[in-house]
Structure formats: structure tokens, C-alpha cells
Structure 1
């Protein structure tokens, strides 16, 4: 994984681009990923993250596989575009790029306006 992280400050993530925060966190899966990254050590494998997301649910292996594919192709790249995460497609690992407090504030802002 590259050491060239885009680090979001409170100003970047919240003040100057609130519409970007809403767009980035519009989908429930993206909110779940960001929430997950606030409480787990990074980097984390995509497979481990998907398994953890379904730990309390009776999801089939097909559901888990589809979620992993959806995250890989759609949601993780979008979160990366907005600077919330780095997703290494070679190792399939995810890492947050900003402080946990910024992620929590972003989630709070998005939930108040959804």
C-alpha cells in the first residue's frame, strides 16, 4: 500500500465540501465501511471486513461474495475518490486516510441530513 495518503482535515472533509460528504456516504454500505474503519485496526483485508459486516446476520456465502464484489468495484473506489480511504487492489486491503474523529463527524453530518 502506498504511503502517499491524502489526509483529510476537518476543513477538507466537513466544512468546504459537505455535499461531497453526503455523496460519499449516501449509500448504506459506504457508511458501514466508514463506521467499521472507526473501530478496527487498519489496514484490514476486504474479506475480513465483509465477514465482520455479516457476523450478526444470517447471510449466505453468495450474499457475502456479492457484497465483496460490490465493495471492490463500486463503493471502495468511490470512498477512495473522496479521500476517506486507500484501497489497495493488489492486496485487497483497506485503510482509512483521515483521523477517526473526522470520519465520525462525517458520519454524524451525513446521518443528520439523510
Structure 2
């Protein structure tokens, strides 16, 4: 049983079970893992302690996708900045500092690892 801010019991819903965290429903986690690029982002972040820089993440993805050209790198940076990172930040998976371009996980690595294993071979 979980409790609200006023400590009254609240029933759990199917959406907030099995993730190891009450903050991110399992359906949201599966939606985040449904995209291959987000799988790569999470795989990279799980393997790195602390913050990573947007440029380093984009370089990893470009190499992983087999197209490490400057043009592809810039496209990935744009895609991460405007699409994937905001979605992942809004659901509580990552934090992203716009000034320093530092990205970090907002949840325990152990919570994400089983989902990553189910969805990818990254």
C-alpha cells in the first residue's frame, strides 16, 4: 500500500507496479524503451556513473548507428535536444542541464536494467 501526502492510504494502480519506483509507471517505461534511440540513451547512461555530456552521448549513438559523420552527429544532437531528452526528462527518467548540457539518470540503474534487457541488445 502506498500513502498520499496526507498519509492516507492509496490503492496502487497497474500502471505504478513492477517498476521498483512509484514515480514512473511501467507503461511509461515501456513507452520510453519502445524507441531504439532512447534505448541507446538509457544503455549509455546506465553504464556511466554521474553526468554525461550531450556531445559524448551523440557521438556514442552516431558510432552505434554506423554513421559517425559530422552531419549525422549534429542531427543526433538536435534530435536528442528537441525530442528524446525532453520526453525522458518529463517522465522522470533523466535530468538535463541546458547550460552545461549534462545529462544524468534520475532513477536507480537497477530499476532500468531489466527493461533494457527485455527491449534491446545494446
Is this a same-fold pair by TM over 0.5?
yes
1:9-88 pair list within 5 angstroms: 10-12=20-22, 17-55=25-63, 57-88=66-97
SS in 1 for 2:116: helix
User: Max radius of gyration: which structure?
Assistant: 2
Q: CA deviation at 1:107?
A: 1.9
Return the structure number with greater relative CO, CA threshold 8 A, min gap 6.
1
Gaps of 5+ in 2: 1-18
The runs of 5 or more residues in structure 1 that have no matched partner are 1-8
The aligned counterpart of 1:6 is: none
TM-score by length of 2: 0.72
- Give the count of matched residue pairs: 101
Secondary structure of the 1:86 match is strand
Tell me the TM-score normalized by structure 1: 0.77
User: Larger helix proportion, structure 1 or 2?
Assistant: 1
DSSP-derived class of the 2:50 partner: coil
